[in-house]
Amino acid sequence: MTRVRGFLKRGAGVAAVTALGLLAACSGPPPAPTAPTTSTPTTSPQPSGASSSPGAPGATPVQLTMGTREGQNGALQPWWTGSSVHAEVPAGLPVEPKYRSEFFWNSPNGPRLRVGEGDRLRCRLQIGPHLGGTGADRDIWQVLWQLHGPNKEGWWPAPPLNLHVRGGSWRIGGGAGREDGYAEYYKPFTPFVDGKTVTWDFDILVSQHRDKARVDAWMDGAHVVKAWHPASGTMYPSHAWLTMKSGLYTGNDDKSRNSERRVVTFSPMSCDITRATPPAQQAARTAPSTPNTPTTP
């Protein structure tokens, strides 16, 4: 297993966060945990080594840690094995409109990561998806990463940006939660191969203004999203702040049938975050919201 070491460099307005443990290509999904609701480590395993790609974050990264976990409607809470995090929706669950096996990403010192207007995120995430036949199903959507957050009233609108699998393709987009906006996804879509571990690199400028909001993304070094300005921005005017979460959040448009077991494996995420707001003002802006507020995209 090849890994990358994360470093923290203190500097004016920059919380560095990049470099990521690389997952070995998986021959099959991992076994289910024996006790999925037990406590998890407060910090991610520290990788070592080096890596680079055209879309990789900057040279002074910080590795994020796993925070609050969610398991809903029979989906398991994410769990650790070695240096990887796994999210699972088991087979044979009662028919439900949505299942969630997700976790929030925390800053290296523990609090949930928060970003806002004008911040720039350069992040890397390695994902090993084992979705079986559901990955090619047009009726089933499966969200693996979200840029998400509460509005000023404490509720969580549909995210401005997410990475999901549907109909045999990777898709990046969002925006349905903006009052004057709509959902939009970047095209062309990127082909999805079940069981293949991939590395996603993101370069995102967070803004409620379409002309300023920008998304670039690379999959395994290929520049698949190029200087995209989403119609609803990468943040809404109503947002208090944004954070990031990963895992498996899935729904089925054909609710008459169940699907097979699905497991997604993640290596610890890493990012460089350039702050537009000075640290003192940032602290005031990112005051905690209600902890158990619904997070339905």
pLDDT, residue 55, reads: 56
DSSP for residue 208: S
pLDDT, residue 97, reads: 76
pLDDT, residue 26, reads: 43
pLDDT in tens, 259-295: 689 999 999 899 999 999 765 555 444 433 333 333 4
99 has which bridge partners?
A: 250
DSSP for residue 134: G
Q: What 3-state DSSP class applies to 127?
A: strand
Per-residue exposure over 182-215, b if at least 16 CB sit within 10 Å of its own CB, e if not: eeebbeebbebeeeebbbbbbbbbbbbeeeebbb
Residue whose pair of structure tokens reads 């494996």 in the numeric block: 265
Window from 238-242, 244-248, 292-296 with minimum mean pLDDT: 292-296
Task: Dig out the tokens for 3 from the structure.
Answer: 């890994």
Domains in the chain (CATH in brackets) are: 10-22+50-285 (2.60.120.200)
pTM to 2 decimals? 0.79
pLDDT in tens, 91-129: 988 777 799 999 999 988 788 999 999 999 999 999 999
Short-list 221, 230, 228, CA closest to 201: 221
- In terms of average pLDDT, the best of 14-23, 230-239, 253-262 is 230-239
**Using an 8 Å Cβ cutoff, are 91 and 261 in contact?**
yes
pLDDT, residue 252, reads: 83
pLDDT in tens, 38-89: 333 333 323 323 344 555 555 567 899 999 999 999 999 999 988 899 999 9
pLDDT in tens, 1-42: 333 333 223 333 434 433 333 344 444 677 766 544 333 333
Residues found in the chain: 297
Identify the helix (H) or strand (E) that includes residue 102. strand 98-106
* Phi, psi (rounded to 5 degrees) for 130: -125, 85
What separation in angstroms does the CA of 272 have from each of 11, 123, 204, 230, 290? 12, 6, 11, 22, 27
